[in-house]
Chains A and B, each alone.
Chain A
Amino acid sequence: MTQPLLRVENLQTHFATRAGTVKAVDGVSFDLRRGEILGLVGESGSGKSVTGQSILGLVDPPGRIAGGRVLFDGEDLVTAGEKRLRAIRGRRIAMIFQDPMMTLNPVLSVETQMVEAVLAHDKVGRAEARRRSRDALGRVGIASPEERLAAYPHQFSGGMRQRVAIAIALLHSPDLILADEPTTALDVTIQAQILFEVQTLCRDTGTALLWVTHDLAVVSALADRVAVMYAGRIVETGPIADVIQAPRHPYTRGLLDSVPSRNRRGVPLRSIPGMTPSVLDLPKGCAFQPRCGRADAACAVMPELPENGHAWRCWHPHDADARGAAA
C-alpha cells in the first residue's frame, strides 16, 4: 500500500486550565489516503474539532500539542515551524469552518479576498488571480460569478457565503480539505446542494477530505470511512457501511439508536443514559463505562484500538450480526 496522504499518530492536544489539564485530544491516530473522505464524528466536547485544528497547528493557547505526530506527505507538521506551516495552509491543506463569516472579512469584497488568497501562494498577475477566483466561484455553483466577485460577504445568503468559503479553499487545488461542521448551520435543501458540490469536487480532483461533524446521517451518505470520538479518543473506526450496519462499540450503537428516524414512530427512543462526561474528571479506563450497560471490572483498564479495518476500543463489543435497531 502506498503511503497515506495524512497520518495522525497518537496525537495529544492538552489545554492547561486553572482546574487542571484538559486532555481534549488524548491519543488519536488515523490515516487518510488521497481522494478519500473520512468522517470524524462526535458530540460536543468529544475533541473532534480540536483534532482538526491540531493538524494545521491552529490550536490557540492555553492549548498545545503535547505529543504525537501529524505526518502530511511524510512531513511532520507538529515539529514544522510557523513559516513552513504558512506555506502549507491554504495551499496544500485548506480549512472550511462552520461559520463562513469566520473565513470572510466583512469589509472587503469577495474579489479582494480571493485575489489576496491566490497571490499569497502563487506569483501570478492580478488578472490571472482574478480569473482563477472567478472560475472557483463558478465551480461551487455560484451563478454569474463575474458580477458576484464585486459583492461583499453581507450581500450573500448563508448558503452562498459557505460556497464562497469553499471556493477560497479550492483556489490552490489543495490535497486535503479539513471541514469543520460546514453544513451544520444551513437548511437541508442548501446543505444538500453543498454536499453535492463537495462530493463532485472530491471525485473530480482527488482531494482528500476530513469532515468533522456531529451528524451521523451526513457522514453516512458522504464518507468512505468514519471515526467516532468520545472524550478525546477514537472509540470506533472503519468503513462507513460496516460501522453503520454493525456498530461494535456500545457508544456508536447508542448514537445510531438515538437517531429518531431509526426508531419506530411513537415508541420511546433508545437513548444513552447520563450525559457526556467532563474531560477533567474522566473515570479510570474506558471513559464511556458510567453510561454503558455492558461495563464491568475489566473496563477499568483502557482497551486499545487495534489498527486497520473496522476496529473498536471496547472489552465487550456487540456482535457483528445482532443488529438491534430496525433500519
Chain B
Amino acid sequence: MTRPILAVSGLSKRFERKLDVVERFARRLGASVDDSVLHAVSGVDLAVAEGEVVGLVGESGCGKSTLGRMVAGLLTPSDGSIQWRGTDLRDLPPAGRHEANLKIQMVFQDPMASLNPRLRVADIIGEAPVVHGLVPRREAAEAVAEMMRTVGLDPGYMRRYPHQFSGGQRQRIGIARALAVKPDFLVCDESVAALDVSIQAQIINLFMRLREELRLTYLFISHDLGVVQHISDRTAIMYLGRIVELAPTPELFAAPNHPYARALLDEAPRVTLEKRRFAPIRGEIPSPLNPPAGCPFHPRCPHAMPRCSQERPDLREVAPARWSACHLNDTL
C-alpha cells in the first residue's frame, strides 16, 4: 500500500462520568463508588489509502460514530494518534492542523438535525468557504451554484430554507456543504440510513460519482451491510469499541473470519426467494460501561473457549490483507 492519506493508531476515546454529590458523599463514608468510564473506542488502528472507500460496520454502541467523529476532528481522542498524510496531527503547527482539519469533512445522518433551519441554502453551503478564505464573498453565490449543480440540485433553489426540501434533497445539501471547502476526505456517518430505498440508491450513486470526479476518499460508516458491501473497497467490522475484522470487501462478505462478522452477515436481511428460518445468535451487546474480560464477543460466541474469557485476542493479519481478532485463528 502506498502512504496512507489518513492513519489512526491506538486511537481510544473514553467518556467519564464524574460522581455526583451524593456519590461523593457516599464514598467519603467508605462506600466503594468509582467514576464510571465508558470505553467507546479502544485502541483502534486503521489506515486509509488515498482514493479508497473504507466501510465501517457495527451495531449501535460499537463506537463507529465516535471513531468517525475523532477522525473528523469533532472529538478529541483520549489516547492514540491521527496521522494526516504521514504527519501526526498533534505535531502540526496550528495553521497546518487547521488546514488538515478542513480537508476532512463530515456528512451526517439526519440532514434536518445537521442543517440550520433558519439559514438559507446559499448560506449553509456558502458560509464556510467564505470564512476560510477559499472563496471571495462576492463570488460566493457563483460557488454555491456550482456546488449545488455538482450534487444534483437546481441552483434556482438557493434562496430556500431546508424545510422546503425533501429528505433526499436535504442530504444533497449536507453533502454540498461538506464539499464546499474542497475536502480530500469525507467521513459519512450513516449518511443514507434515514432515506427511503429508492432515494437511498440515488444518494449512493451520487457518493460514487463524486468519488470519481473529485478524487475523494471516504470513511463510510453504516449499520447497513448491503450499502457497505456495495460502496466500499475494504470493510472494518467493529464490536464494543474495537475492530474485530478488517478485510477487502469481496473477501470479507464471501468468507468472514471472525465469528461476530459471520453472525452479522448471516442475520442481515437479504431479499431472498426462500423463506428463512432465523437462527439468531443469543444475547445482547454487553454494556460498554462494563465490557466482558477477554474477547468482548465471548459471552455470545458459539465457539468460545476458556482462553477467550481470559485473554483478549489482538487484531492480526490472518491472510494477506485480511485482519481478524480471534483466538480460533491460532488453533486451526
Chain A residues within CB distance 8 Å of chain B: 43-44, 157-160, 187-193, 195-196, 199, 214-218, 220-222, 240-241, 244-245, 254-256, 258-263, 265-266, 268-273, 275-276, 327
Contact = CB atoms under 8 A, between A and B. Distances in A.
Interface in B162-195: 166-169
B271 interface: yes
B263 A216 contact: no
B193 to A, nearest CB: 11
Given A43-B196, A221-B275, A241-B273, A260 B226 contact: yes
B280 interface: yes
Contacts of B101: none
Contact of B264 (A189, A273, A275): A189
- Looking at A160, A218, A240, A261, the one whose CB has the most chain B CB atoms below 10 A away is A261
Contacts of A216: 197, 271
A159 B250 contact: no
A268 B275 CA distance: 29
Contacts of B285: 187, 189
A191 B278 CA distance: 10
Size class of the B contact interface (CB-based, 8 Å): 35 or more
Given A187-B59, A265-B230, A222 B275 contact: yes
B60 interface: yes
17 contacts: A43-B197, A188-B59, A188-B269, A193-B278, A195-B280, A196-B278, A217-B226, A217-B271, A221-B275, A221-B276, A241-B273, A244-B271, A259-B197, A260-B201, A261-B270, A268-B208, A273-B202
B59 A195 contact: no
Contacts of A44: 167, 196
Contacts, number: 137
B204 interface: yes
B197 A258 contact: yes
Pairs A-B, 3 closest by C-beta atoms: A271-B201, A217-B269, A196-B278
A314 B277 CA distance: 34
B227 interface: yes
Nearest to A159: B284
B267 interface: yes
Contacts of B168: 275
Nearest to A216: B271
B200 interface: yes
B331 interface: no
Nearest to B232: A265
A269 B284 contact: no
Nearest to A261: B226
A259 B201 CA distance: 7
A44 B167 CA distance: 10
Interface in B204-233: 204-205, 208-209, 223-227, 229-231
A221 B197 contact: no
Contacts of B231: 260
Contacts of A43: 196-199
A258 B192 CA distance: 13
Given A195-B278, A271-B201, A272-B198, A221 B267 contact: no
A270 B201 contact: yes
Contact of A260 (B223, B229, B273): B229
B42 interface: no
Q: Which of A158, A255, A271 is packed against the most chain B CB atoms within 10 Å?
A: A271
A273 B273 CA distance: 26
B197 A255 contact: yes
Contacts of B274: 241
Contacts of A190: 59, 284
A217 B270 contact: yes
B111 to A, nearest CB: 14
Nearest to B59: A187
A261 B201 CA distance: 11
A153 to B, nearest CB: 16
A270 B208 CA distance: 13
Interface string B108-121: 00000000000000
Interface in B250-300: 250, 263-264, 267-282, 284-285
A262 B274 CA distance: 15
A191 B269 contact: yes
Nearest to A224: B275
A255 B201 CA distance: 9
A115 to B, nearest CB: 26
A220 B270 CA distance: 8
